[in-house]
Amino acid sequence: MTIKLKNINNEYIIDLDLEEFYLKKDNESVSFKNKKNNDKNQYFTSFFSDDDRQKLSQLKNDGIKRLFIKVVGKDVFYSSLLGAKIFAVVKEVQALGFEADLSRLDDDIKKIVLMAFKDTGNYAPAETKKDNGFLEKVGFSTFYIWNNLKNGISFILESFQAIVNFFGGTAIYRKKDFWFCFEDCSYKAVGITVLVSFLVGLIIAFVGAIQLRSFGAEIYVASMVCIGMTRIMAAIMVGIVMAGRTGSSFAATLGTMQVNEEIDALKTLGIKIYDYLVAPRIVALVLTIPFLTILADIMGILGGAVVGVFFLDISLNSYLEYSLNVLSLNNTLIGIFHSLVYGVIIGISGCYEGINVGRDADSVGYATTKAVVISLVWMIIATGIITVMLEVLGL
C-alpha cells in the first residue's frame, strides 16, 4: 500500500488508511528478502512499497528520528487484525531506524498494539504526551464533570424506576438476595451502632457540661443530649457507620461481580441489573436505617445519663425527667427523615461505584473507598440543605 506522509509542525505522520487495510488482499503486500538469513525461502511481509521506503530513507538522511503512526478512514471497525497490521508497520518503521510514536492512535487500538509488544518482548514504541493549554484543560475538565453528572443523573433515575418496580411487584430479583441485604443492614449493624451512639451521647454530655457548669446548670445536660441526639446526631452517626460498613460492602460486592463479568452475563440474559441488583439493596437499607436511628437515640441518651449520674451528681430520676420533658415527636421525626435521606444517598453511591468499577482488582478497592467518601460528602451537603429548609419552615 502507499503510505501518506504529512509534515505538521515539523512532525512527520504516517497515515494508514483503514479501508485500504481491509480491502487489500494479503498476496498484494510486498515481500522483501530477510537480510539476516541467506536462505532464499526466508521472507518477511512489508506494507511499504519501494517508493515508500525511498521516502523513509530520505527522511532518515534529513535527520528525522521520530514518525507518528495515525489511522485514517471511517466506518471501519477496530479489531485485532488491525492491531496486528499496525504492529507489523511499527516493527518495520523501527527496523528502518525510526522511533515510532503511537500518541495519534485511539486508546482502544493503542492498547492492542502495546499488548502485542509486551507479549512478544519487543521494545514498545514511544508515546509523546502533548502539553495541553489552559483552555484545553478547562474544556477536558468541564467535559469530564458533565459526563459524570449525566451518568449520575441517569443512574439515579434508573434506580428510582427500579424501586417503583420493586414495590409494584414487576421487578425481577431474588428474594433470597433481598433478605440477605436486609439482614446485613439490620441486626448485624446493631453492635457497632450501639457502641458509637453511646459514646457520642457521652461525649456530648461532657462537652456541654464544661460550659453549663459555670452557670450551675448541669441539669440541662440532659435536655441538650436528648435534643441533639434525636434531632440530628443519631442520624448522622448511623449514616457514617452505614456508609463505612454497608455502602462499601455494596461497592465491593457489585465491583467484584463486574470484574468477574457476572453483570455482563445478567445483561446477556436480558435481566435488568437495576431491578436485580440495585433496588433490593437500596430498599433494604432505607427500610432498616430508621430503626437503627431510633436505637441510636436511646443509646445516646443513656450515654449522656452515665455522665450526668456519675460525673455531674445528677440523680437518674432528674436526668430522665428533663430528658422526657424535651423529647418531642417533631425532633424524632426530623431525625428519622434525615436517616431516610442518608439511606438513599449511601445506597445509590455504593451501587453506582460498584457497577461502574473498572475491570481489575485495584479498581474495586478504589471504588470502595470512593463510595464511602462520596456518601459522606453528600450526607453533609444534604444535612446543610435540610437544616436550612427546617429553619425557614420554623420546625
Domain spans of the chain, in order of start:
4-120, 149-393
pLDDT score for 23: 40
* Residues 6+ positions from 322 with CB-CB distance below 8 Å: 219, 220, 222, 223, 226
Question: What is the predicted pLDDT for the residue at 141?
Answer: 87
pLDDT value of position 360 = 78
| Weakly modelled stretches of the chain, pLDDT under 70 | 1-50, 52, 72-81, 118-132
pLDDT of residue 279: 92
- Please, which residues have CB within 8 angstroms of residue 222's CB and are 6 or more apart in sequence? 304, 305, 308, 314, 318, 319, 320, 322, 323, 326
Contacts of 257 (CB under 8 A, 6+ apart): 263, 277, 354
Residues whose CB falls within 8 Å of the CB of residue 43, separated by 6 or more in sequence, listed in order:
31, 32, 33, 34
Helices (H) then strands (E): counts for the chain: 16, 6
> Could you give the CA distance from residue 188 to residue 131 in angstroms, rounded to a whole number?
52
Joined together, the cell numbers standing for residue 223 give: 435536655
Q: What are phi and psi of 129, to 5 degrees?
A: -95, 120
Q: Which pLDDT score is estimated for 38? A: 45
Phi, psi of 217 (to 5 degrees): -115, 40
Per-residue confidence (pLDDT) for residue 382, from 0 to 100: 94
What's the CA gap between 365 and 149, in Å, rounded?
22
User: In whole angstroms, what is the distance from residue 318 CA to residue 302 CA?
Assistant: 13
pLDDT, position 294 = 94
Quick one: 197 exposed, middle or buried, by C-beta within 10 A (0-12, 13-18, 19+)?
Answer: buried
Q: Which three cell numbers stand for residue 251?
A: 461497592
For 360, phi then psi, to 5°, come to -130, 165
Predicted confidence at residue 281, as pLDDT, reads 93
What is the number of other CB atoms lying within 10 angstroms of the CB of residue 287?
15
What is the per-residue pLDDT for 131? Answer: 60
pLDDT value at residue 276? 92
| CA distance linking residue 223 with residue 321, whole number of Å | 9
Q: What is the pLDDT of residue 114?
A: 76
Task: Report the pLDDT value the prediction gives residue 130, as an integer from 0 to 100.
Answer: 57
